[in-house]
Each structure stands twice: as structure tokens, then as C-alpha cells.
Chains A and B, each alone.
Chain A
Amino acid sequence: DADVTQTPRNRITKTGKRIMLECSQTKGHDRMYWYRQDPGLGLRLIYYSFDVKDINKGEISDGYSVSRQAQAKFSLSLESAIPNQTALYFCATSDYRDPTDTQYFGPGTRLTVL
């Protein structure tokens, strides 16, 4: 969805480096999410935020941190990257007014940790 953008789209880094992945949205949604996708494991929730002052851990938050700089921006950081964090990372948004919580995804960031 062009309304949800992610930067960078691809990144190769080394073990131990700090990495930040950024997500911006123009949908006006208050809820934002970070997922990682691994082959055979589907999407797993890392962190989510229901508004600027609300940050919550998902099912696999260890080794990650997030920052919600504004309603439209939600960043994911890997403080010290390790190889098993190699994955495809997706940002998503949803609207609190939508009772179904339909998710709208960004294009993804492919991260490789050597």
C-alpha cells in the first residue's frame, strides 16, 4: 500500500551493528505494528503501538526496540544485530475506528545480518 512506506527497502549489515528501520504512513491511522516474516513461520508481531504514547511488546520483542516519534512514524531498532534477525520486516497500520482491525502493510524491508 503506497500510503505506508518503509526505509530502507534492503539492508545488509554485520553482527553487532545497530540498525534502524523506519515506517511512515499517510493513512491517518493511529495504530502501527512491526512484524517479521520468516519462511514457514508466517508473520510474527514484534511491537505495536495504539497511539503516540502507547507501546506494547508483541510475541517476539527480545532484541528489538521501537520509537513512535509521531502518529505517522514508527521506527524499529535492532540494538545489536545478530544473524537470526535476518528476515523480511513489515510495518502495518490499522484504524481504531475499524472494528475488524484490518491491517494495511508497507512494502517491507529485507534485512540481512552477516
Chain B
Amino acid sequence: AQSVSQHNHHVILSEAASLELGCNYSYGGTVNLFWYVQYPGQHLQLLLKYFSGDPLVKGIKGFEAEFIKSKFSFNLRKPSVQWSDTAEYFCAVSSGGYQKVTFGTGTKLQVIP
């Protein structure tokens, strides 16, 4: 069965600091990888996804993530965070055989002005 681990549960940063949120998955086959964001009081929205091709994926609002197959990782990065990035971030994985998406437990990011 596929699973996802997000090791950072709560991250606090000052504005302009760089961000990296860790995500590791376990599944030996072909995977699709996602980062979703949930702003306070809102529903989850897709931030970016990896399907195939370039392992460095660029998403909305300056976010990017790198798929490193050898490390089973898909870490989310942003060079300079803003207060408006305060949200909860979820990593997720799907595999062709299951056709279901498994979510991580989420990382709450708090950006201090």
C-alpha cells in the first residue's frame, strides 16, 4: 500500500525566509505526486503536481517541488515566503494501480510579518 510522510507538523518562518517542506512516500511503482494547500477556512487547492518528465515542478505563487526518485521524496520549496502563504500544506501520492490518492498528515506553515 502507498503511504506519505510529512515530518514537519508545524513550521514558523519570518517573511522573506526560504521554505522547504519535506515529503516522503512509499510505493515502488510509478507515482503521481501532489502538493495541495489549504488556506485558513478554505478547501484544499492544488499547488502543483508531478506526473512525468522534468522532476522539478513549478506551481502557482512561486512554489516548486523536486521529485527525487532515489530518495522517494517530493519536497516543496519557495525561496521567499510571504505572510499570505500561511496555510496548511498537504503532500499526496497516487499510483496508477490504485487510482486513489493518499494524503500526508499536513504541515501547518505560519509566516510572521
Contacts and interface: CB of A to CB of B under 8 A. Distances in A.
Interface stretch (A12-20, A42-50, A61-69, A75-83): A42-50
A90 B43 CA distance: 8
B49 A100 contact: yes
A6 B49 CA distance: 25
Contacts of B71: none
A47 to B, nearest CB: 11
B100 A41 contact: no
Main secondary structure of the interface of B (DSSP, over half): strand
B105 A42 contact: yes
Nearest to B104: A42
Contacts of B102: 45
B12 interface: no
B68 interface: no
B43 A102 contact: no
Contacts of A90: 43-44
Contact of A43 (B96, B99, B103): B103
A35 B36 CA distance: 14
15 contacts: A1-B45, A40-B106, A42-B103, A42-B105, A42-B106, A43-B90, A90-B43, A100-B94, A101-B94, A102-B46, A103-B92, A103-B101, A105-B36, A105-B43, A105-B44
Interface of A: 1, 35, 40-45, 48, 50, 58, 90, 94, 99-108
Interface of B: 6, 9, 32, 34, 36, 42-46, 49, 51, 90, 92, 94, 96, 99-106
